[in-house]
Chain A
């Protein structure tokens, strides 16, 4: 169980701001966002490598740095490059095993689990491909037989078979009651495996829910003879409304509410339909406000984002 509450860590204009979410045992949480959105900062603060300005992050109710033997509770893989290049894979694991007080048999077992054979284990880490380093780093994370896994971009550098393998491994880990938090900047890498998606953009959480919840977050598309009048009426009723690229209005109001507002204002509707979210569209619209599909100026919240937040509040 991972709980992150209003975590703030600023680096000038960058960093994270009031990041809150939790990861339940038995689930895989996909932590999504473009590069530089704050994923690694969040994970580093969670693992005690950096201090938050405000807020708290706990694992099984305790801050990471207070866990007496963190490697037995949490397997962490933040950077596959964070290994001495002059040591062999086997020696790297043996050192970690010695710190954890885990026997050699476990280290050998882990090598097998992550698919590094004896020849690979004897090689120096400096001779490893990125994929092999990812496998070794994952082995380090699994070494202490933890109940929680925190992985930063674990699929980086893996070939398609490797990506499939890590998916199966993490799914089984979660199905046995483990808690998995993995970050990615690619939606398709995590949407197949994640039970829970948290999307971060520009240091803030912009969506948090199951993939189905995020998909069913809806907006309404409407057209009217006098579009500006309808837009003004919607705004006057406290709804967000914007004109789409093809000249319709997209709003966070329910279709029925749009119909009532139109009737009240005398606007003649020519089209009225609910619009479900395609996850990819949603991800793009939430993480890049200036994306061409939405045509919204940078910095302005899209109706989709608004309704997603609202949907989450209702769900919670």
Chain B
């Protein structure tokens, strides 16, 4: 039993865990299980497939980096929000919330670390999209000596896809916070915005609202490169309704309610 109290190589800290450390832990949690790795692999496969389809179909005007990167971004966000959802809900579906919040009783810090990890994963996803889109663009324009304009607007496109990926993964985090159950959050994530899109497309009175509050319409401006001052405002309004409000409500409940 002497090992129980044997001094460790470095003195152990009494200070609170810095947010950067908690974020690293959350990133590790997202990638250290089979389901996490499968999800990441699946997103990568879909991104490659999307880039190839974009490169091999369509006209010359579609074969720009901005366009192919946009398509790659759009297909990755089919599953990227699920990553955000699982970052939060796995704590409940796997009953580990009790352990997590015992180690870090300030629950908002855990959620802040999860949101930070989600943003970093979105950055990584954007980088991966770029890594996939560049050769796909080269392929589309058949090797060296790409036509004029192929690489135009690449900088802005990268920035917009990054915002697009970040917003979508945070939508997942917000849904996870509200529903806390992986299955419920994922089903509603897929069903609700789709239902909302159908509703705003079919009910003419709602079309105007859809321009402002339907993520399928407003955020696609980011990936589609069709941004104006108005559409930026629409992007922000949608983020408020689909991310800020549910995340705030979920966090408020989490901080007040008993865990476990």
Contact = CB atoms under 8 A, between A and B. Distances in A.
B194 interface: no
A142 interface: yes
B105 interface: yes
Contacts of A113: 1, 3-4
A47 B98 CA distance: 10
A69 B95 contact: no
A51 interface: yes
A69 B105 contact: no
A79 B6 contact: no
A101 B21 contact: yes
B249 interface: no
Contacts of B105: 47-48, 64-65, 67, 70
A109 interface: yes
Interface residues of A, number: 47
B192 interface: no
A193 to B, nearest CB: 15
Contact residues on B (Cβ < 8 Å of other chain), bracket: 35 or more
Given A49-B260, A71-B103, A84 B12 contact: no
Nearest to A142: B4
Given A69-B14, A99-B22, A169-B4, A50 B258 contact: yes
A263 B17 CA distance: 71
Interface string A66-93: 0111111000101101111111000100
Nearest to B95: A82
Nearest to B7: A145
Contacts of A68: 14-16
B4 A173 contact: yes
Interface stretch (B31-39, B54-62, B170-178, B198-206): B31-39
B102 A47 contact: yes
Contacts of A256: none
A49 B254 CA distance: 11
A257 interface: no
A301 interface: no
Interface in B70-116: 90, 94-99, 101-106
Contacts of A95: 25, 28-29, 32
A112 to B, nearest CB: 6
Nearest to A137: B99
A100 interface: yes
Nearest to A65: B105
A51 B14 contact: no
A148 B258 CA distance: 23
Nearest to B256: A51
12 contacts: A49-B260, A50-B258, A65-B105, A71-B102, A78-B102, A87-B32, A95-B28, A96-B103, A100-B103, A106-B8, A172-B1, A172-B4
Given A86-B94, A106-B12, 12 more contacts: A49-B260, A69-B13, A82-B98, A83-B95, A86-B35, A87-B33, A99-B25, A100-B13, A101-B21, A106-B8, A172-B4, A176-B5
Interface of A: 44, 47-51, 64-65, 67-72, 76, 78-79, 81-87, 91, 95-96, 98-103, 105-106, 109, 112-113, 140, 142, 144-145, 168-169, 172-173, 176
Which 7 pairs show the lowest CB-CB distances between chains A and B? A50-B258, A82-B98, A86-B33, A65-B105, A84-B94, A48-B105, A68-B16
